[in-house]
Structure 1
Amino acid sequence: MDHSQQDRTSAGADRAGGQQFRALSGLGVAASVLIVLTLVYDVLLTVSDWRVYLAVEHFLAGTATEEEIQAADDFSGFFTTWKGLAVFVVGGLAFLTWLWRARINAESLGGPGSQRRARGWTVGAWITPVANLWIPYRIVTDIWKASAPGRSAPGPLLAVWWGAWVVGGMVGRSYTYLVMKDSLTEDDLRRAVYLATVSTAFDVLAGVLVLYTVSRISGWQTQRRAEVHR
C-alpha cells in the first residue's frame, strides 16, 4: 500500500458518515463531573427527606425541639423541584452529548454494521415510551463492543447498570407520585423516605457503573484513534 492509499485509509477511519472522528476525553470528563453532581444532589435530597421525616416523628412524639424542626425545614428548602430538574437535565444532556459522539466514533471503529440502531435512536430511545426500557442499553452495548480491544463484550456490567437504572427510575416515580399528594399522613412520609432511599441506592449503583463505562469507552476510542495515526 503506497502513502496515498494509507492517507485515504486513515481519513476513512477518521470519519463516520461524513463526521470527523473526535477524541472523547474532554466530553467524558465533563459528563462524568455532571453525573457525579447529579448523584450528590440525589443523595442529599434523600438525606433531606429523612431529616423532615424524623423531625415530624419527634414532633408527634413531643420530643422535637424548635431548632430541630427549623434546621430540617431550612435544609429541605434548598431542594426545590426546579433545582432538581435543572441538575438532572444538565447531567442528562452532558451524557447524551458524549453518547452521540461515542456512537459516531463507534461507526468508524466497528463499521456501520456494528451498530444495530440508526443514529437517531441514540437520543430518541431515551424519550420513546416502551422503547426506553431496552434500546438505550443495546445502543451502549454496541458502542462498547465496537470500541473495546478485540471487540470484547461487556459481560454483565452493562446489564447490571441498566437494571439498576430502570428499577431506580420506577421506584423514583412511585416516590414522586406519593409526595405529590395533596396531604401526607405519617405512614405516607414513612413510605416516601423508604422509596427515596431505595431509589437513590439504585441510582448511585447505576451512576457508578455509567461513570466506569464512560471512562472505558472514552479511553479505548482515544487510544485506537492514536494507533491509526502512528
Structure 2
Amino acid sequence: MSPVLPRPGPLRSPVGLSQAVVVLLGVAIVADLFSLLVGFNLHSAWRDVLSAGYDGSSGDSYERTETLYGLSGGLQALSLLVCGVVFIVWFNRIRGNAETFAPDAHSKSSGWAVWGWVVPVVNFWYPRRIALDIWTASGPEPHLGLAKPPSRGLINAWWTLWIVTVLHGNLASRMYERAEEGTDIQQALVQLMASDVIDIAAAVLAILVVRQLTAMQHQKVMGPVVSSGDQR
C-alpha cells in the first residue's frame, strides 16, 4: 500500500519576503555592531573606574555608557523579534513551495516550519531538518536524483553558528546579570562582545541561506536563464 502524500498547494513567490528578511538581517547586524562598539566603550570605562576610582569624571562617563549599553541591548532584542517573525513567515512560505515541488521529500509536517522554531528542545534541530528538506526539494531533480543537489555546507554552517550564538549569548547575559565586581563585569562584557561577533557571522550566513533558497525556488519555477547565444 503506497503512502498517502499531502496534497500540494499553490506556489507563492518568496522573493518579496526574502528581500524583507535580508533588510531586517542587515538591521540586526547594525544593532550588533552598535552593541559591540558600546560594549567596548563600557569595558574601557570600567578600566578607568578601576584604575582611577569612581570620581566625577569617570563616574559620569561610566553611567552614560552603561545607559547606552542598555539601549543597545533593547535595540538588539527588538530587531531580533521583528526579523524572527518575518523570517519564519518566509520560511513557512518556501516550505509550502517545497512540498509542491516534492511532496515526498519531507520528514516533518508543514506545521513544524512555524512551531519548530518556538517549541522548546525540538527547536535545536527541527528547523535545520526542515531547511535541509526544503533544500533538497528545491533542487533540480529531488525525486529522480538525476542531478546532484547543491552542497548542504551552507545550511550546516548557518545552523551551527545560530545554535552557538543562542547558547553563548544566554550564558554571557547571565554572567553579566550576576557580575558584581568590576573585574567580573569586564569579563562578562568580553563574553557579550564575543556573542555579538558570532551573531553577526550567523546573520551573514542567514542572508546567504535566504538568498540561495529563494534563488533555487525562483529558478525551479521560472527555469534557468538562457543566454542569447544559446537560443540559436
Q: TM-score range by the shorter chain?
A: 0.7 to 0.9
Q: Contact conserved, 1:145 with 1:154, CA < 8 A, in 2?
A: no
Match of 2:126 in 1: 135
**1:190-205 to 2 correspondences below 5 Å:** 190-205=186-201
Query: Which residue in the other structure is 1:89 paired with?
Result: 81
TM-score normalized by the length of structure 1: 0.82
Q: What is the rounded CA distance, in whole Å, between the counterparts of 1:77 and 1:161 in structure 2?
A: 28
Range that drifts further, 45-54 or 113-122: 45-54
The structure that is helix-richer by fraction is: 1
Q: Following TM superposition, by how much is the alpha carbon of 1:153 offset from its aligned partner in structure 2, in angstroms? A: 4.2
Q: What RMSD over aligned residues (CA atoms) do the two structures have, in Å?
A: 2.3
User: Which residue number corresponds to residue 213 of structure 2?
Assistant: 217
Number of equivalences: 210
Contact 1:100 1:122 (C-alpha < 8 Å) held by counterparts: yes
Q: Which runs of 5+ in 2 are unaligned?
A: 1-5, 143-148, 225-232
Is residue 67 of structure 2 the alignment partner of residue 56 of structure 1? no
Q: Distance in 1 between matches of 2:69 and 2:115?
A: 34
Taking the aligned partners of 1:57 and 1:140, their CA distance within structure 2 comes to: 45
Say whether the 8 Å CA contact 2:158–2:206 is kept in structure 1. yes
Change (3 A) 1:203 1:155: same
Aligned sequence identity (%): 26
Query: What residue identity is the alignment partner of 2:95?
Result: R
Structure 1: runs of 5+ lacking an equivalent: 1-15
Specify which of 162, 173, 176 is matched with residue 159 of structure 2: 162
Task: With the length of structure 2 as denominator, give the TM-score of the two structures.
Answer: 0.81
Task: Show the counterpart of 1:108.
Answer: 100
Q: Note the C-alpha offset of 1:187.
A: 2.4
Deviations 1:75-110 (A, max 9, x none): 3353253x433211100011001000000000111x
Q: Which amino acid aligns with 1:40?
A: V
SS of structure 1 residue aligned to 2:214: helix
Q: Structure 1 residue aligned with 2:69, among 76, 82, 85?
A: 76
